[in-house]
Structure 1
Amino acid sequence: TQVEKVTHDQHEAWLIQANVQFCAAAYPAVEVSHPDAAALMVLAGYLRNGFLHSAIREKGGAYGGGASYDGNACSFRFYSYRDPRLAETFQDFDASIQWLLNAPQQPHQLEEAILGLIASMDKPGSPAGEAITACYAYLHQRTPAFRKKLRERLLNVTLDDLQRVAQTYLVEQQATKAVVAPVVKREMLEQLGFVIQQVL
């Protein structure tokens, strides 16, 4: 079939011969040097560990799912893969935000999200991996001073910061959704407002 032109604000579905979905929702965010970037980094791990893993993988039956912040693409994303559900998963993405804003939160969850990020920053790599990392850091002006400042910002993120950036970047913004789904889900996707593309 002919592929329609898709604008950035349209939800897009690609239909394939499969029996599971791959779902994603992306919100515009800020680049990594912005003061809110640290809170968005922590927010991704916090939502993934505190809500999304249980809702999408354990209860929903998906092979995996979660949230991530990308400071290069300036986006905050939710995702699932090899997912037997469709509309319910997009509802879980939204429910994770409401859980953060409205349910009682435990301090240890914030500490775990921050420590997980710090551990990933400190993890040693192979010689080739370290060289690639150093090259990209140099190309993007991510000096040792910049990395030190980012680490300090991460360590100082509070629950109030998470709720503030969730409200600013997720609640007050519109997500762009995409899904790779089985051909048999065409009607459901049309009802959900997706522009349909089909892979032959």
Structure 2
Amino acid sequence: MGNLPASSYPTELKTREDYDFVRQNFDFSLWKKDWRALLFCKTWRTLKTSDSLDGLMQDSTHRVIKSQSPAGASYVEQEYVDDPSAKINLFGLTQDEVKQILIDAGDSVDELNELMKKEGYADAVTSEIVKNDTSEEAAAKQAELDAKYAASKAELYNQYVDAAIHADTETQESIKKLMTQIDAQYDAEYAATKEK
């Protein structure tokens, strides 16, 4: 295993045989990304469109996308499903089989689980719940928050540049911490405007 030079690694893998060939003849570091890519085999399929949220489902495998046009709002309900054209499905493999091959070759179980979770395969798909809320009050609060945030960041940025010019690393570190706090506060306040 892993006896062919990296320079001869194929530029494209099309068939199951191609995937098995690289796995058996090249170093794991070369084929890991290609085999990991096989794990991503889901897609969003549109189920229905409506001019109201009534009767549309939003849960771990369903999402609603809102569109705004001069005619008004419309909503599309989608379901997270296996993609029949994904290579893993065309090859007749399962995610568990691909994961096991990667783990046997030395991949990290934790990294794989984190990767799949991020893509929505290990746990519920997390997408923002669409609310039937187009209130001008919420939009005004968000705009005010954006302006306040931009002003705070601009002031800190100027202070940071000044500290950098004077090679004052202590001040730079303090400003970085303040920026992180402002980001967290902004996220919390912005989320609060959406909940109302």
TM-score range, shorter chain: under 0.3
TM-score normalized with structure 1 length: 0.20
Structure of greater relative contact order (alpha carbons < 8 Å, 6+ residues apart): 1
TM-score (norm 2): 0.20
Q: Which has the larger radius of gyration?
A: 2
